[in-house]
Each structure stands twice: as structure tokens, then as C-alpha cells.
Amino acid sequence: MLSIYAEVYCYLNYLGETYNEKIPKNVFETIENERDPSVYFNIDDSTNLEEILSIESLSPLAALDYEFWCTPEENKEQ
């Protein structure tokens, strides 16, 4: 479970402030505090996310997308 938090944390670092500021501070802090700090990888535009992110990390990322990043119109489409 700690590595899932680490993967999500690394991906959030890649996304940057534009996305991170939309997440409630306590949610971001939970991800940051629960992650395994020994697991870190740098993601850039050339990174193949399928090779780095586990299938288990997609659920929390999808939840963040649905709850905080999508517009209400986009949520209706999903």
C-alpha cells in the first residue's frame, strides 16, 4: 500500500501545482505522509507511465480526477 501512495505522490509531482492546488490539503498530506519515501521515480514527458505506475495506483488517481480535476460536465459524461 505504501508504494501505491508513493506512485500517486510521484505522479502528482509530475502534474504540478495546477492540479495539486485543486486537491484538499489534508488529502495531499495523507498521500505524502503515507508514502514509502524510499520509493521515488522522476516522471517527465518522455516517461511511459504504463511501465512505472501499477494498476493499483490507477484507482486513487481516477478518484482524484473525478472528485477534484474534472469539471461537472466531464463528470456527467463519465
| Nearest of 67, 77, 76 to residue 27 by alpha carbon | 67
Specify the pTM.
Answer: 0.85
| Nearest of 51, 50, 45, 52 to residue 10 by alpha carbon | 52
Domain ranges of the chain: 2-77
The reported pLDDT for the residue numbered 29 is: 97
Whether the CB-CB separation of 47 and 13 falls below 8 Å is answered with no
Low-confidence ranges of the chain (pLDDT < 70): 74-78
